[in-house]
Chains A and B, each alone.
Chain A
């Protein structure tokens, strides 16, 4: 016990010392960003959703090598889109934000943190786009090609839950949209989604990444996902193939700067949208919004026969209200019914 006391006092002292200097944790950037914030130039805070981190890990050092980006430091934060948006709303410092669904930007517009005209840009606020696609097992043993194939007997489908992952709403919207002729026939759309969720979706994981993990762990025949996620997974060594159906929804990924953003933010956004920036996105499977880069990568990004957008379905405000409202939305009801049937 005599040796015990020095320990507790040592711990206490340590805590005081650390508490004293703890505030000044101006440590390095970590994510391979390259430049440090020491040169007196601006430091930009990038708050983004998690999947494109691989792209930004390449873009930031490349940007720092350009005359515009020389000496600009970066603080990066990646996480689930909704979490990130809520964090910025709650006071996390951000100069540039990028989210996987528009309502996450809208939240910040409502909070007065992002300008109302954020999407009045040549690209309508988009940084990249993608398509809802099917991730299948290597070699596509179940010959999944179309949305109808998902409803064949015995086909097991995975999708992240649209109520825990904002981005997963794209999957459900794709299924709904293709069956309803781009939103024209609501009943047909809901019937397809109902059949899919009640009879074929084995489980709905919390996030897209977790769903992919469960898929690679052996569950299911098809994972509803996005073109870029499939490409990224392949480049990271996951043994999966993907199929883009001939009728699907275009996914919008937004980028915006905050109202109090450092002037250098615009330079960074310009770089991200420039040719080299968009090439980096294309190399990870993200469809470029830069027409020139898209044309150069046409072979990699074939256009499906039919393609619709969120606007065709009435926009986010409408689908969130009619389909995804947790109390009265049609999809919420389908989910609840599906739950009851598994409960039996």
Chain B
């Protein structure tokens, strides 16, 4: 690990003590980018991270991108503008955003209950949260179809509908927001909330004005991850969605189809590259949104 992890030249810039408010106040909104020193982790840290990401993430992606243009840009365009490809892409993006949005709200709520509430069996509930990752996706698919399929014991049959895809995605992305909000909630200073309440603010006001702004980066971060994961998800969807073209077929399944039926990975790579590009744009969008909120606060 980098030896210059924390502060290099932080000596000169002791944060100004906030003249107004209790001591906890200055911690309320951290604005590291405003008063951060150049290269908080030093150039070495930045270098290591850059090399790491390049090696693990960028190198394989470069290979896929290169492959996708093997037959030229014209063929690339033809492949990715196929009606079925476009349809699958739009559906994937919409359903992934929806799953991320639902889990942003519900995940925050769950995290809140797990941190601030107290009830019997709380630790057991807390322990369940990560299971959607650990269970193989085929098992997720099997249980979903057992529960919400033709022979549903609860009388809900969503097989081969778009709801089925949404349901599967909500299942596999559940842990993200919960687990990103939870640590922030645990670290959150409660003094401000107390101050707010003692000044007569309603619980709702306190939550909106004090708690939510602090949780915002974590919620958005979790939602971004949920979205990203949903876009690439495959295993848990296939059984219950039936992969009906133009209806429940997501891009990941379409890519698999191209890979299996066209005997060379060029088309599959091309669609993957587009999916990747669009996801990247959405992710950057979420980050920009997050940062803007950061500055406004």
Contact = CB atoms under 8 A, between A and B. Distances in A.
A203 B253 CA distance: 14
Contacts of A107: 263
B242 A218 contact: no
A202 B260 CA distance: 22
Contact of B238 (A162, A166, A210, A326): A210
A206 B256 contact: yes
Interface residues of A, number: 29
B243 A204 contact: yes
Interface stretch (B44-52, B112-120, B145-153, B179-187): B145-153
Contact of A324 (B145, B258, B261): B261
Nearest to B240: A214
Contacts of B83: 336
A117 interface: no
Contacts of B257: 161, 163-164, 326
Interface string A315-344: 000000000101000000001101110110
B247 A343 contact: yes
A202 B161 CA distance: 12
B244 A342 contact: yes
Given A218-B149, A218-B151, A210 B239 contact: yes
B258 A326 contact: yes
Interface centre among A206, A335, A340 (most CB of B within 10 A): A206
23 contacts: A82-B260, A161-B243, A161-B257, A164-B253, A164-B261, A165-B260, A166-B260, A202-B242, A203-B159, A203-B242, A205-B239, A213-B239, A214-B159, A214-B239, A217-B151, A219-B149, A326-B257, A326-B258, A326-B262, A336-B84, A338-B245, A343-B246, A343-B247
**Closest A-B pairs by Cβ, 9 of them:** A218-B150, A339-B245, A203-B242, A339-B246, A343-B246, A163-B261, A206-B238, A163-B257, A218-B151
Interface of B: 83-84, 142, 145-146, 149-151, 159-160, 238-239, 242-247, 249, 253, 256-258, 260-263, 267
